[in-house]
Structure 1
Amino acid sequence: MTPSRRTTLQWMMAAAALPLAHWTTPAMAEGMDHAAGAVPPFDGIADWPDIPPPPPAPGYGRDPDLASPKVPWALTLAAAQRKTVDVLGDLILPQDTASPGAGALGVGAFIDEWISAPYP
């Protein structure tokens, strides 16, 4: 039998309400004043520690300035190595009648920035 949408919603609401329920073990219930509606003490709950959050990393939270792109890290490849990557790019994606080759588009500079970036 497939549960109906109503049954599924009832399950979800019951699961959401479970943390709000006051659970009492039989040993705790023996010493409670049920007429007064006493709630058992929660010994394991403590206040959240007042720990200040660490300061944000420098530059975090700002959008990049795409109008004036700049590379804030040192590039890895030398000019001759970038030329070699451009030639290899032309071998892999050569020029045709519809578009230029990869070397003409500057694949060497792209690869250099990509492998030099400090991201994992």
Structure 2
Amino acid sequence: MAPPPAVPVADHTSDDEDDALEVTEVEMKAVIRRLSVKNSVPGPDGVPGRVWVLVMETLGSRLRGLFSAYMERGQFLLCWKTGKLVLIAKPGRPADSPSAHRPIVLLDEVGKLFERVILDALL
């Protein structure tokens, strides 16, 4: 099975930058800790954030390696940016009115984890 397509993010040429792009265990624990306090609805993959929290002890090093590889390549998987549109009814509005619903796009939790790792690396 071929890997999912990825979106190029940046072109890295310096060896010093490559060292800084490796995701550390401390960084992973920090993003997982933030995820553990959330109770969010799963995205298109159907995997809730709570599952990622529970499997991190077993799969954490593999996921960290995957994130590090994508950071080095400057890529972000397209499937992590594919969302599921859900319409939430607004209270007190007629159901047949277009303005009676609030659109929300649900994304995969693992993609959101990677986004948080990238954000922490930029700050």
- The two structures have a TM-score, normalised by structure 2, of 0.25
- The two structures have a TM-score, normalised by structure 1, of 0.25
Greater radius of gyration (CA): 1
**Greater strand percent: which structure?**
2
Structure possessing the higher relative contact order (Cα contacts under 8 Å, 6 or more residues apart): 2
**Greater helix percent: which structure?**
2
